[in-house]
Amino acid sequence: MRIGVNLSTTDEHGRLLDGKGLAAMARLIEDVGLDGAWLGDHLPIPGTDVRRRPDPLMALLLAAHATERIELGTCIYAPGLRGMYEVAQRFATMTTLAPGRFTLGVGTGSQQREYEAAGVD
């Protein structure tokens, strides 16, 4: 059995972590012996603080740089909200810079307002 957890992007007071904080969180996950760090994908929606979060692939890439062995994954990434060539390049970057450690979970997304914000039908 493997156990992974959500990579928190906020501190105990709900403030967004900076790069050093995200790296420290990823190292903590690895140091306690867990197997993976995962992040979901939602577009930020103006006027909602709940949606404040960094780009999942950029945050996971930073986590890859800060760790050596944990699996890094998306749960769930919505490629339909972005251009297909941008998404393909970003996935290729993750697999190149974190070889054998990136797992991609994809879905359609569940928020109509995210599609509206992205200008996608």
Torsion from C-alpha of 103, 99, 7, 52, nearest 10 degrees: -80
Confidence label for 42 from pLDDT (cuts 50, 70 and 90): confident
CA–CA distance, 61 with 59 (Å, rounded to integer): 5
Is residue 108 helix, strand or coil? coil
For the segment 51-64, what is each residue's pLDDT rounded down to a tens digit? 677 899 999 999 99
Higher pLDDT, 114 or 45: 114
CA–CA distance, 17 with 57 (Å, rounded to integer): 15
For the segment 106-121, what is each residue's pLDDT rounded down to a tens digit? 998 778 888 888 888 8
Confidence label for 44 from pLDDT (cuts 50, 70 and 90): confident
**How high is the mean pLDDT of the chain?**
91
Pair 77, 109: CB distance under 8 Å: no
Cα angle vertex 42, ends 115, 35, to 5°? 145
CA–CA distance, 27 with 22 (Å, rounded to integer): 9
pLDDT in the model for residue 18: 95
pLDDT at 49 over 70: no
pLDDT in the model for residue 109: 77
Mean of the pLDDT values across residues 91-111? 92
Tokens 């603080």 sit on residue = 49
Mean of the pLDDT values across residues 42-56? 74
Distance of CA 69 to the CA centre of its chain: 17
